[in-house]
Chain A
Amino acid sequence: MRAQMLAAIVCGLIFGAGLVISDMINPGRVLAFLDVAGNWDPTLAFVMGGALIPSAVANIIRSRGSAPLLDSRFYVPTNRSIDWKLVTGAALFGLGWGLVGFCPGPAIAALSTGRWEAVLFVAAMLIGMLVYRLSHRQRLPNYSAN
């Protein structure tokens, strides 16, 4: 567990640094990227493109190996059905993201700047998650054996 915790912290450090270096942490940049009909700023497409390379390599390694280094199995969702919850949830997320330019990772990273806007957004986000938790009896996730 101690090694897993260390891995989580180190991965978080790299993730947070990536959000700052890419400028994903800046809602103004994110909204400019989403504003295709306006003065479009395409640079954030390179964030997604860049992120997919190591992530895809890791998935290729996963498909060949038997278990992760610090745990006995992978906890990867195997559900493939595109249901109304997925569609509605993704649409709601897109709406909130487009309103202010914050998604969960950058909003949490922005807490490091001490901006009250980030604190307010993250607090509201956690309340939104609590509302979901109270209104849905979550089914247990269906993980793959590998």
Chain B
Amino acid sequence: MTEIDYLWPLAGGLLIGLSAGLYLLLNGRIAGISGLAAAAAGLTHDGDSKLGLGFLAGIIAGAWLAAALVRHPDITLTSSPALLIAAGLIVGYGTRLGSGCTSGHGVCGLARLSPRSLAATAIFMAVAGATVFVTRHLLGFQP
């Protein structure tokens, strides 16, 4: 592993954490993307759909700007449409049922030592790892 291999992820991670920290201290809210997406789509009772839309638009613009100015992403993605749909449905339903995703539980929840987020993060990391193990090493898919 060369220096640059982990400096990029570290720099990107610091930015993600900075964003989550700023959102908490400015707006008093959790920067959980699944929750913000549900709010933006009008699928929550309490959510501020406009703030959700603003945050999501910011993500898309920020990703586009970073790709244009800093680092062009090399996206490797060979999943079939059926698999993308199935995974999207499961992720959408699961993140609502479990009250969060990688950002809400993994970045925001762990940072305030929430026991629910600790449990959720351990579970989704373990299941995601097991899923990759089964699909790649037992079923032989190599996406």
Contacts and interface: CB of A to CB of B under 8 A. Distances in A.
Interface string B1-45: 100011011111111111111111111111101100110010111
B83 A127 contact: no
Contacts of A26: 73-77
Given A36-B129, A80-B116, A11 B108 contact: no
Interface residues of A, number: 115
Which secondary structure dominates where chain A touches chain B? helix
A17 B63 contact: yes
A62 B67 CA distance: 33
Interface in A30-48: 31, 34-38, 42-48
Nearest to A87: B123
Nearest to A124: B88
Nearest to B86: A99
Which secondary structure dominates where chain B touches chain A? helix
Contact of B97 (A45, A74, A132): A132
A23 B8 contact: yes
Interface in A1-45: 1, 4-5, 7-29, 31, 34-38, 42-45
A98 to B, nearest CB: 3
Contacts of A76: 24, 28, 30, 112
B13 A70 contact: no
17 contacts: A11-B26, A12-B57, A19-B12, A21-B12, A22-B8, A49-B10, A54-B20, A55-B17, A94-B127, A94-B130, A95-B127, A104-B102, A105-B101, A108-B37, A110-B75, A126-B92, A141-B46
Cβ-closest 3 pairs across A and B: A12-B58, A89-B98, A22-B12
Interface of B: 1, 5-6, 8-31, 33-34, 37-38, 41, 43-46, 48, 50-52, 54-67, 70-71, 73-77, 79, 81, 83-99, 101-103, 105-108, 110-112, 114-116, 119-121, 123-133, 135-137, 143
Given A27-B143, A128-B93, 8 more contacts: A9-B55, A23-B12, A28-B143, A76-B30, A89-B99, A105-B102, A113-B63, A140-B46
